[in-house]
Amino acid sequence: MGSPTSRACEPPVEVREFVRATPRLDGMVVSAVGYRSAGLRPALHRGLPSPYLTLIFSIDGPVVSGSTPEQAYGTDAVRTDIVVGGLHQRPAFVAQPEHEAGIQLSVHPLAARRLLGMPAGELADVLVTEGTDVLGSAAGEIHERLCGETGWSRRFALLTDYLQRRVAEAGRTAGVRPEVAEAWAWLARHRGAGTLDGLAAHVALSPRRLTTLFRAETGLSPKQTARLMRFQHARDAVVRAVATGCAPDLARVAAECGYYDHSHLVRDFRQYTGLSPTGWLAEECRNIQAGGHRDGGECEA
């Protein structure tokens, strides 16, 4: 028989939970993921750039983050229960505690006017903004109600209803110029491939004029957005391979996702993650296996 204290010395059971919902918001929210973790060793998480805005309602303490690892672990770290993140081109660093939980939404940039009350361009390259500064005090009330709920279905329903009310209040006046909307759709159809001249001709604008309008609306130029879309597809392909137990063929992924060669894919990985593809996979392996990067979604847990 073991000693009475042996069980207390055992390491805590590790829990990683990811729950996905289908947002009823007409494509304005691309993905909705509930996450919960417990018993983990505190670590640093990289929030990667993507073609979508980030909206997080944390329900187990604030999200602690920074633009560098030093800031995330330092006294000037950003601590907020509701996170709004604009489009960016470098990773955000999140200091993960032993346990955390919340809901993370990927918001389409062209829906920012209706969901957030401002164009995504006003959040340009802002890694983290306090959610109530953008959404107002009502978001704080929703956060408190989310913290009081115990089931994911109810949490998702509560958050969806809140966002639907914001869309209804915004009405049709919060629309996006049709040239910008069509430019985004063209980039998405081409998965980040194609030329700026071809895109500009498609929407009947000069490249300069299109870039000005597109950047004001989204915070990025069409070229920057195309690179992010291409990287997202490449990253998703790598994640799918790892999730099925296969070693990703980076040369093949590069070719299928429109990269000139393997070295250009590695270059983008280094820019957007701060690591090589193999380095990032080693860091994120457990999250991938638990489903944390499925369907292009990314979670803090």
Q: What is the pLDDT of residues 220-235, one digit of tens each?
A: 999 999 999 999 999 9
Reported confidence tier of residue 15, pLDDT bands at 50, 70, 90: confident
138 phi and psi, to 5 degrees? Answer: -60, -30
Pick from 9-13, 191-195, 216-220 the range whose average pLDDT is largest: 216-220
CB atoms inside a 10 Å sphere around CB 198: 12
Instruction: For residue 16, tell me if it sits in a domain.
Output: yes
Instruction: For residue 99, tell me if it sits in a domain.
Output: yes
pLDDT over 50 (residue 160)? yes
Domain carrying residue 19? 8-173
Mean of the per-residue pLDDT values of the chain: 89
User: What's the domain count of the chain?
Assistant: 1
- Of all residues in the chain, the percent with pLDDT exceeding 70 is 90
What is the Cα–Cα distance from 216 to 124, expressed in whole angstroms? 9
Instruction: For residue 139, tell me if it sits in a domain.
Output: yes
Higher pLDDT, 31 or 284: 31
Check: CB of residue 139 under 8 Å from CB of residue 131. yes
pLDDT over 70 (residue 167)? yes
Strands (E), 125-190: 129-130
pLDDT over 70 (residue 8)? no
The CATH number for 90's domain is 2.60.120.10
